[in-house]
Amino acid sequence: MKKRLLKIIIILIFGSIILSIYSLFNGIPFGSNIAKAKITNYVEQVYDFNESVPKPHYNFKDSSYDVSLPLLGSEFSYDLLNNKIFDERLSDDVYNQFQGDYEALRSSYNENIEIPQAFLFSTILANGEYSESITLHQKIYLLSFVNREKIAPEESMKMPAKLTKEIIDSLGESYNITSVQVIYKDLNGLYEISLDGKKAISIEMLENSTLKTDRFGEEDRELFLELNERYN
């Protein structure tokens, strides 16, 4: 009895290892079928597309299921873990609009605070309801702010959150930014914010996610020396 139980345990462990390795490179079993159903439902409602959608292939680098639909001029991806769809065509349209809005905002800051170029990545919540409205979740990349003003160390910890929240609020309700990746530099060092979520971002969430890091290059080191020599 004990030998049989041990054999079953060994088989289960070995099977789990094989399944884990398979899933790492090919996704979970039936993952492609789920992705196909999600993407098919989306393109039918949004683009009135009634052709057959090919079976998506697993992209282990991004942990997504990808498919190209040349008739729609777009690539589509499904993120099974977060239940989100990426529509390249829609994302590009939103990004082009964002660039105009962001550049107008960027020019409004004084020359002592360097506002970086930004990238906006948009995905769609795959809730099956696309006929009336599409729920976008967006991540903004702000890499990186440079503040050349004199500032106390305790204020440096707050400034990345302050600038990021100002930008999100100024962009307005046309965007639903729920995730950020931020780099900020001033005379006290380099600070990062990495925040991924599905809800509206508050200043408290940004402040709690702010970290000072020692990982910086020679160019950053020279900036810190320059600013400290200016004010010390």
DSSP 27-43: -STTHHHHHHHHHHHHH
- For Cα atoms 91, 114, 175, give the angle at the middle one, nearest 5 degrees: 25
Structural domain boundaries in the chain = 2-81, 89-231
Mean pLDDT, residues 24-53: 84
Region 14-20: mean pLDDT is 46
Q: Report the pLDDT value the prediction gives residue 35, as an integer from 0 to 100.
A: 94
Spatial CA neighbour of 193 closest among 173, 218, 213 = 213
DSSP H helical ranges for the chain: 2-26, 31-47, 88-106, 153-171, 203-208, 218-231
Contact residues for 20 (Cβ-Cβ < 8 A; gap 6+): none
Q: Name the nearest CA neighbour of 58 among 87, 85, 80, 32.
A: 32
Name the residue among 44, 45, 80 with its Cα closest to residue 64: 80
Query: 3-class DSSP state for residue 107?
Result: coil
Cβ atoms < 10 Å from Cβ of 138: 20
Average the pLDDT over 180-203 and give the result: 95
pLDDT at 64 over 60: yes
pLDDT at 131: 72
Count of CA atoms in the C-beta half-sphere (13 A) of 78? 26
Summarize the confidence of residues 161-184 as an average pLDDT: 95
pLDDT digits (tens, 9 = 90+) for 108-130: 887 889 999 999 999 999 999 88
pLDDT digits (tens, 9 = 90+) for 77-98: 999 989 999 999 999 999 999 9
List the structure tokens of 179: 């995730």
Report the pLDDT averaged over residues 167-179.
Answer: 94
Higher pLDDT, 63 or 179: 179
Provide the whole-model pTM.
Answer: 0.82
pLDDT > 70: percent of the chain: 88
